[in-house]
Amino acid sequence: AQKITQTQPGMFVQEKEAVTLDCTYDTSDQSYGLFWYKQPSSGEMIFLIYQGSYDEQNATEGRYSLNFQKARKSANLVISASQLGDSAMYFCAMREPRGNYGGSQGNLIFGKGTKLSVKP
């Protein structure tokens, strides 16, 4: 079963409007971390925002906020006031506390991504 599911292969949004990118995850651990990354056409991976499973408040970083609904295992990214430079692939990722080799932390598991296009 997929650990991270992003159901929107592509999204369009009008410049200056808000957009929500969906992400659901699957884990049996109580302690985990959720991340969003942006990948523009240049290929670099840019860290956007982090949410810990025990964090009571939704994470915010500037125009980015994470709508964390733990019971639903949902970690949607909300981008407010979209800009043309927001056009990119967006990846949701999860880190579980234990790696396959019993390490103190596991690797990040990524979803397949959502391609966001901002229209002028």
Partner 1 sequence: GAGVSQSPSNKVTEKGKDVELRCDPISGHTALYWYRQRLGQGLEFLIYFQGNSAPDKSGLPSDRFSAERTGESVSTLTIQRTQQEDSAVYLCASSLKGASYGYTFGSGTRLTVV
Binding test (CB under 8 A) with partner 1, winner from 15, 17, 44, 61: 44
4 closest CA partner among 98, 69, 97, 75: 75
Amino acid at site 29: D
The smaller minimum CB distance to partner 1, of residues 7 and 120, is found at 7
Amino acid at site 7: T
The smaller minimum CB distance to partner 1, of residues 34 and 118, is found at 34
CB of 42 to partner 1, least distance (A): 8
Binding test (CB under 8 A) with partner 1, winner from 43, 62, 85, 120: 43
Cα 89 to Cα 9: distance, rounded to the nearest angstrom: 9
Q: Which of residues 79-118 bind partner 1 (CB under 8 A)?
A: 91, 95, 97, 99-101, 103-105, 107-113
Cα 19 to Cα 11: distance, rounded to the nearest angstrom: 9
Reading the block at residue 64, the tokens are 């980015």
CA–CA–CA angle 86, 15, 35 (5° rounding): 30
25 binding partner 1? (CB under 8 A): no
Interface residues toward partner 1, by CB under 8 A: 31-33, 35, 37, 43-45, 47, 50, 52, 91, 95, 97, 99-101, 103-105, 107-113
